Amino acid sequence: MNKSNANNFFYRMLCGAFLGISVIAPGISGSIMAVMMGIYDDLINIISNPFKNFKKNFMYLLPMGIGAVISMLLLIRALDFLFENYTVPAYLLFMSLIAGSVPTVIDEARQKPIKKIYFIGTALAFTFALTIGILAKSDFAVAIDTANTASTAMKIYLPACGAVAGMMSMVPGMSISMLLMMFGIYEPLLNLATGLISPDRWFSAAWFSEALTVGTVVLAFLVGMVLFSNITKTVFKKYHSLGFLMVLGFMSGSIVSIFPGLPQGALNWILSIVAIAIGLSISYLFKVLGKKFNVEE
């Protein structure tokens, strides 16, 4: 592997790590992360037709998969601690990460002529994302005991929710975790995932049962993602400016919906300012790195 290929491999791993974080971090959109890192178009093209140029696609996605798995395994407990104990700085970190990619989205929208009617799409996208966020934070209830993941109803409900989340994951600005919260399964799935990485439970009967449950959700998620990606790809291909203006609406709605309020106390203010600076810096860094490595490839 030459130096350029090695650099691209590790960059893809880094991209995958942030995509993995977006799956478990409340309110964070993996698609927005992909836009920010300059890999969204590539992912849409691959996911919409995964068996075309299979070997090339596999090698492109492999480092991302490795990075995503590593970040999720290493950070699932850390993120849980962070959001539980330093809620405002944690949310502001990811909000600034999303906000930092707004100029990139606007530049993309300007590449094609913009019609005034397109802003209706922006408003609808903003409203939709905001509604999802509000429902996720409310006591929105479903007629299923979501705490009992072993029930027959949940064995049907969980994959169904996974499929919907997979479809929505293709829409930049839509947060998988927010959708799962709205469906009432974010915490149950998080608990299952945490249990799967506990060494004292490995290969027990309960572990295999829970692994099967999580596996069906992941499979349903992937199927939903592949099926809906073709629609998303068509929108961005035929209505480029409209697509990215709607992305801007989804992003704005997501940012507003996850705003945790102002920090309380001197320490939280300091941590929040640092978090915002880090988020904006990471967003800018990915913009630079994305251009560099995408040009190289």
Question: What's the pLDDT tens digit per position in 140-197?
Answer: 656 677 777 778 888 888 898 889 888 888 777 677 777 777 787 877 887 787 777 7
Pick left, alpha or beta for residue 112 (phi over 0 → left; psi -120 to 50 → alpha; otherwise beta): beta
Cβ atoms < 10 Å from Cβ of 128? 18
Confidence (pLDDT) at 291: 67
Pick left, alpha or beta for residue 174 (phi over 0 → left; psi -120 to 50 → alpha; otherwise beta): beta
Tallying the residues shown for the chain, one arrives at 297
- Domain containing residue 215: 3-296
Q: How far, in Å, are 91, 255, 260 from residue 268 at the CA level?
A: 12, 19, 12
Mean pLDDT of 32-50: 81
Cβ atoms < 10 Å from Cβ of 203? 7
Indicate if the pLDDT at residue 27 is higher than 70: no
Confidence (pLDDT) at 292: 67
φ, ψ at 262 (rounded to 5°):
-80, 150
| Residue 259, burial from CB neighbour count under 10 angstroms (0-12, 13-18, 19+) | middle
CB 215 within 8 A of CB 155: no
In the chain, what percentage of residues exceed pLDDT 90? 9
Q: How far, in Å, are 2, 55, 140 from residue 282 at the CA level?
A: 26, 31, 34
Cβ atoms < 10 Å from Cβ of 192? 18
Buried b (16+ CB within 10 A) or exposed e, 154-183: beebbbebbbbbbbbbbbbbbbbbbbbbbb
54-60 — which CB contacts under 8 Å span 24+ positions? 60/12
Greater pLDDT, 211 or 140 = 211
| Confidence bin at 226 (pLDDT 50/70/90) | confident
The whole-model pTM stands at 0.70
| Confidence bin at 297 (pLDDT 50/70/90) | very low
Q: Give the CA diameter of the chain.
A: 59
Q: How many domains does the chain have?
A: 1
Distance CA 254, CA 128 (A): 9
Cβ atoms < 10 Å from Cβ of 262? 10
The contacts of residue 137 (CB under 8 Å, 6+ apart) are: 181, 257
- Tell me the two tokens of residue 93: 């970190």
CB 13 within 8 A of CB 67: yes
Cβ atoms < 10 Å from Cβ of 113? 8
